[in-house]
Each structure stands twice: as C-alpha cells, then as structure tokens.
C-alpha cells in the first residue's frame, strides 16, 4: 500500500487535468450511509424497500411516505466533508484537478470548496416547485411541513434523480467532456456497478487510471493502479505536497 500511495502522489504531481469520479465511499467517511453496503440503507426496515420509496411513481402516489423517508435518511444535517472531499478541493485549487463527477447527492464536495462538480444523481441541496420551477434550499425544506409546497401551491420535489427518472443530459455531457480531456482519472469509493459509472469511465483516454476502493471492482484489473483502502487516506496523502494557487 505504501508504494502504491507514493505512486499515486507522484502521478498527481505530474498531472494537470485530473478528474475524480466518486461514489458512496467518499461520503461514508463523513458518516453518510451507503445505500448498497451491507449495513447501508437497503437493509433497514421500512414499509417499502428504499429503492421503491425513492422512485418517481412512489413520489407521485405517496408523497408523505416519500418525504418521511427522505427527511429521515437523505436530508442530512450537520455532516462535514471528509478527508477525500477536502483533498479534492485542494487539488482543484492547486490547478491539478479539473472536475469532480459524483454519484452522491449530499453537496459535500461544494462544502469542501470544490467548484466544478458534476452531480449525476442531483443534490438534496436543491429542490424545486413542480408548478412554477421556483427553487428552494435544503434549509427551506427543513422549515416546511412534511410534504413541502411552494407559495404558489405547487408540490416541491427534491432535485434528485429518482428511480425511473433519467439523468440530466447537460450533467452527462459535462462529465464526458471532462473525462475525455483528463490526463488522469481517479475513481474512488464506488464499486462501478451503478449506471452510468461504468459507461462514463470508458471515455477516458489519458495516461493513468487509478481505482481506490475497499474492495475489488470490475475495472480494478485494467487500472494502472488499484489501491484497496480508504479513499480519504489515499487522497489526503496524494494532495499533501501540493501548493495552492493564490
């Protein structure tokens, strides 16, 4: 592991167009549960399975049940960026990293200071009125009744991509552009089995593909470097020598 970390650090220092592609593992280090891990949300008890509750048809039919789950499990308060979030923001400020592409919806990359973030599955920080398209923050939602409504009377929906919904074209296109022009792609904290992760990393044409995950992924073998461990520890070490631009 030590040799691998040194290699990662050296590559980060040599690169100038790094893209980070991240999944739940980046935020579990902030204490946010991973939907798909053994002790994650999927194994908790609800009247319906979480993947049913977080679907568009369920939201339309049972907004109360949806919002009960959403407020309880997804609209988290007081969560702080992890070492991974902080290291990535530092890489961006140092002129090394051009974009973060994330499957997470918690807004923690922006909290850490990252500017160019592509949120494939949307964000709990944004919510919009389905009637007049007015936007509301997560704090606005916290201050509203269980099922939040806009002053215009419209139902408010989190700007999160639910099951049965398609991803935003602009977010996908931006992610592809960033990955295609990257000289190094670091994939961290994702098992790479969730759509569209696997498809997106196929656009990478750069020098170094690095995968950091606790367990093996379908791409670990074709990676130039596969690190098995904490994504926060690896990124913190990799960014430790960087000087930030004024």
Long-range contacts of 198-202 (CB under 8 A, 24+ apart): 200/21, 200/101, 200/172, 200/175, 200/176, 201/21
Residues 6+ apart with CB under 8 A from 58: 48, 52, 65, 66
Kindly determine how many residues on this chain lie close enough to bind Zn ion according to the rule CB under 5 A: 7
Residue among 132 and 146 whose Cβ is closer to Zn ion: 132
Least Å distance, CB 140 to Zn ion, is: 12
Rule CB under 5 A: say whether 152 interacts with Zn ion: yes
My answer on whether omega of the bond before 166 falls inside 30° of 0, hence cis, is: no
- Which of the ranges 75-83, 108-116, 144-152, 211-219 carries the binding residues for Zn ion, by CB under 5 A? 144-152
Binding track over 95-134 against Zn ion, x by CB under 5 A: ----------------------------------x-xx-x
Rule CB under 5 A: say whether 141 interacts with Zn ion: no
Residue 85 annotated to the active site: no
Angle (CA) 165-170-176 rounded to 5° is 105
Residue among 68 and 149 whose Cβ is closer to Zn ion: 149
| Whether 240 contacts 222, CB under 8 Å | no
Least Å distance, CB 152 to Zn ion, is: 3
Residue among 78 and 151 whose Cβ is closer to Zn ion: 151
Least Å distance, CB 159 to Zn ion, is: 14
Residue among 115 and 131 whose Cβ is closer to Zn ion: 131
Q: Give the whole-angstrom CA distance, residue 126 versus residue 133.
A: 11
Least Å distance, CB 150 to Zn ion, is: 3
Q: Which of 5, 150, 182, 200 is in the footprint of Zn ion by CB under 5 A?
A: 150
Q: How far is CA 203 from the centre of its chain?
A: 19
Binding track over 154-173 against Zn ion, x by CB under 5 A: x-------------------
Least Å distance, CB 151 to Zn ion, is: 7
Question: Of 85, 121, 149, 208, which one is the catalytic site residue?
Answer: 121
Residue positions annotated with a catalytic role = 121
In the complex, which residues of this chain contact Zn ion (CB under 5 A)?
129, 131-132, 134, 150, 152, 154
């Amino acid at each position: 592991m030590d040799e691998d970390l040194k290699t990662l650090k050296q590559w980060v220092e040599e690169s100038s167009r790094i893209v980070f592609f991240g999944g739940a593992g980046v935020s579990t280090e902030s204490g946010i549960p991973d939907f798909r891990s053994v002790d994650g949300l999927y194994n908790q008890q609800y009247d319906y399975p979480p993947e049913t509750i977080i679907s568009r048809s369920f939201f339309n039919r049972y907004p109360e049940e949806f919002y009960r789950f959403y407020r309880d499990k997804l609209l988290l308060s007081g969560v702080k960026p992890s070492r991974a979030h902080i290291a990535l923001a530092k890489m961006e400020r140092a002129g090394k990293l051009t974009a973060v592409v994330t499957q997470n919806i918690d807004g923690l990359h922006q909290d850490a200071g990252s500017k160019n973030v592509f949120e494939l599955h949307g964000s709990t920080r944004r919510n919009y009125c389905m009637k007049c398209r007015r936007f509301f923050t997560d704090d606005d939602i916290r201050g509203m009744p269980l099922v939040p409504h806009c002053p215009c009377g419209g139902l408010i929906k989190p700007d999160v991509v639910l099951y049965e919904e398609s991803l935003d074209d602009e977010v996908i296109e931006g992610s592809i552009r960033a990955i295609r022009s990257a000289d190094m792609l670091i994939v961290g904290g994702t098992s790479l089995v969730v759509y569209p992760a696997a498809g997106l990393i196929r656009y990478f044409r750069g020098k170094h593909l690095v995968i950091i995950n606790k367990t093996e992924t379908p791409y670990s073998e074709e990676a130039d470097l596969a690190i098995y461990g904490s994504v926060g520890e690896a990124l913190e070490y990799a960014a430790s020598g960087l000087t930030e631009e004024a």
